[in-house]
Amino acid sequence: MSSLFPALTDAPSARPALRFGPRSLTYGQLAGAAGAVGARVRGEGRVAVWATPELETAVAVVGVLLAGAAAVPLNPKSGEKELAHILGDSAPSVVLAAPGDELPPALAGLTRIDVDVEAREEGPFADAGDGDPALIVYTSGTTGPPKGAVLPRLALATTLDALADAWRWTGEDVLTHGLPLFHVHGLVLGVLGPLRRGGSVRHLGRFSTGGVAAELSGGATMLFGVPTMYHRIAEALPGDPELAKALAGARLLVSGSAALPVHDHERIAAATGRRVIERYGMTETLMNTSVRADGEARAGTVGVPLPGVELRLVEEDGTPITAYDGETVGEIQVRGPNLFTEYLNRPDATAAAFTADGFFRTGDMAVREADGYVRIVGRKATDLIKSGGYKIGAGEIENALLEHPGVREAAVTGEPDADLGERIVAWIVPADPHSPPGERELADHVARRLAPHKRPRVVRFLDALPRNDMGKIMKRALPQG
């Protein structure tokens, strides 16, 4: 197939490619540094990358892809047990790391190659095929050890080109973000995306509203973030006119990895005149849908299927749902060239993940509007509540709760109920811990906005909700009972 990064040879060598804090590389420098990495790992099957939010990680992954090998990004915060599982499962032959990084004992058995960002060598540009593995990304599975999703080169190219179409993404765009580089969001979209377009990325290192304001005021045109980041932006906006001005000047504000609460959408739009757009993807599928740059940025939706992606909603028995009425809930299934090929060493899990006609079972529940817009209401395993004969998505109740001034954070789950089947439970972090809103007050608030059967029957107050490193609420970690 053609190169994943044509700009490495076609773009002006002095054009900016990567910037991490004070350190940066032009396309000419990146081609040389990644080429040197590629020359070192050519012929290797799988290459582990110690994925810190540094320049070396980006160079390492591009170098591995130039060599036709598969990169296995490692989360530097992984515990020893998880790390040992990933290494045992993927069996990489070498590990790439920044020269000063101290690696844990689990990596002691691997040959270490330090990434030299100042090295210059013409890349090997291996003749890799569309179906050859590009990345093996481990899912944060809620049950059992993480599974390695094998993402082929075609999936990366397809997803990034589809996003370019949806977002009018070009080589003139400058992307800024502070996302980790061991996930699809930060690595594929946030680093490989700009490089495939011939644009540039400015990584914040660590997210801060000040960093966002500085980059968007200094030439960045796009911001990628997760809901936690946009929540912090929404909180900061009333007292930070420079931040509001910087966001107002951005071409595109994109949120992903979890649902952005409608309340934060509206606060950002009111303060900046700009709407955040959402997209929907998974490790196994890369990107499936997005609000388009030339479409309506409708809060609470993830837009329409991207070019090349087939998407359907199905009933519990697998029957496709044909009603686009904004109410009928079904599981999202997708098919297209953006999908992973397998879970590494798990033929059983791979087979279970796909239908007989090749659709991937996402486990996400959604409704579709009459115009095709998709609105996700939660995960099948944790967010679909069957109460009183109704199928209810936790997400819309969470959004309603977040509109109450006394609620800072909210999560909604179901628990067994002898009468209803399941009762709706709201987990609330109050805005004022000393004066939390009443249970009846919150129930009535939801009933007025949605419907009486969607009101929480139980309210439990917490100091904080458990979240993973992408800001997703980990509902399985909530206290039991």
On the question of pLDDT at 481 being above 80, the answer is: no
Is the CATH code 3.30.300.30 the one for domain 384-477?
yes
Tokens describing residue 344: 């590494």
Average pLDDT over residues 136-147: 78
On the question of pLDDT at 190 being above 90, the answer is: yes
Tokens describing residue 270: 């009111």
Tokens describing residue 214: 């500085």
Chain center to CA of 163: 14
pLDDT digits (tens, 9 = 90+) for 268-321: 999 999 999 999 999 999 999 999 999 998 888 999 999 999 999 999 899 999
Average pLDDT over residues 375-403: 80
All structural domains of the chain with their residue ranges: 7-186, 384-477
State residue 278's pLDDT score. Answer: 95
State residue 2's pLDDT score. Answer: 56
230-to-202, 207, 375 alpha-carbon distances in Å: 18, 11, 19
pLDDT confidence band for 81 (50 / 70 / 90)? confident
Percent of the chain residues past pLDDT 70, beyond the cut: 98
Q: Which residue has the tokens 């980006």?
A: 58
On average, the pLDDT of the chain sits at 92
pLDDT confidence band for 133 (50 / 70 / 90)? very high
State residue 276's pLDDT score. Answer: 96
Give the Cα separation of 31 and 334 in Å (integer).
35
Give the Cα separation of 152 and 188 in Å (integer).
12
Model-wide pTM > 0.75:
yes
pLDDT digits (tens, 9 = 90+) for 213-268: 999 999 999 999 988 899 899 999 999 999 999 999 999 999 998 788 888 999 99
Three-state secondary-structure class, residue 289: strand
Name which of 135, 64, 129, 55 is nearest 94 in CA terms. Answer: 64
Give the Cα separation of 217 and 174 in Å (integer).
12
Is the CATH code 3.40.50.12780 the one for domain 7-186?
yes
